[in-house]
Amino acid sequence: MKIRHAIIAILLVGTITTAQAELIENFDGFGTTPFSLTNSSGGLPVINAGGFVRLTQLNGANNNSIAFDEELTQTGPAPNGLQMQFDFRMTTDQANADAGGCCGSAADGFGIGLFTTATYGSIGGNNPADGGGVWERPSFVDAFTVGFDIFQNIDVVTLNWGGVTVAQADLFGTLDLNNGFFQSANILITPFGTNALVNMTIDSSSIFTDTIIPLMDLSNFPNYRLIAGGRTGGAFVATDIDNIRIGNPPIPEPATMLLFGLGLIGLAGINRRKK
Give how far Cα 180 sits from Cα of 17, 34, 94, Å: 38, 28, 10
Residue 254, pLDDT score: 47
Closest listed residue to residue 54, CA positions, set 41, 45, 44: 45
User: What is d(CA 177, CA 148) in angstroms, rounded to the nearest whole number?
Assistant: 8
| pLDDT at 2 > cutoff 70 | no
pLDDT digits (tens, 9 = 90+) for 84-111: 999 999 999 999 999 999 999 999 999 9
Q: How many CB atoms lie within 10 A of CB 268?
A: 15
Average the pLDDT over 162-174 and give the result: 96
**Which of these, 172, 150, 170, lies nearest to 93 by C-alpha position?**
150
Provide mean pLDDT across the span 221-234.
97
CA separation for the pair 111, 215 (Å, rounded): 21
List, for residues 189-214, the tens digit of each pLDDT value. Answer: 999 999 999 999 999 999 999 999 99
Say yes or no to pLDDT of 247 above 60. Answer: yes
Contacts for 134 with CB less than 8 Å, ≥ 6 apart:
108, 231
**Per mean pLDDT, which range of 152-161, 176-185, 190-199, 245-254 is the poorest?**
245-254
Nearest to 189 by CA among 140, 249, 148, 141: 249
Quick one: DSSP state of residue 101? Answer: -
Q: Where are the domains of the chain?
A: 1-18+252-275, 21-250
Q: Which of residues 218 and 21 earns the better pLDDT score?
A: 218
Phi, psi (degrees; rounded to nearest 5) at 109: 145, -160
The dotted CATH code for 21-250 is 2.60.120.200
At 40-93, the pLDDT tens digits run: 989 999 999 999 999 999 999 999 999 999 999 999 999 999 999 999 999 999
pLDDT band at 129 (very low <50, low <70, confident <90, very high): very high
What average pLDDT score do residues 138-150 get?
A: 97
Query: Are 94 and 187 in contact, with CB atoms under 8 Å apart?
Result: no
Contact by Cβ (8 Å): 149, 136: yes
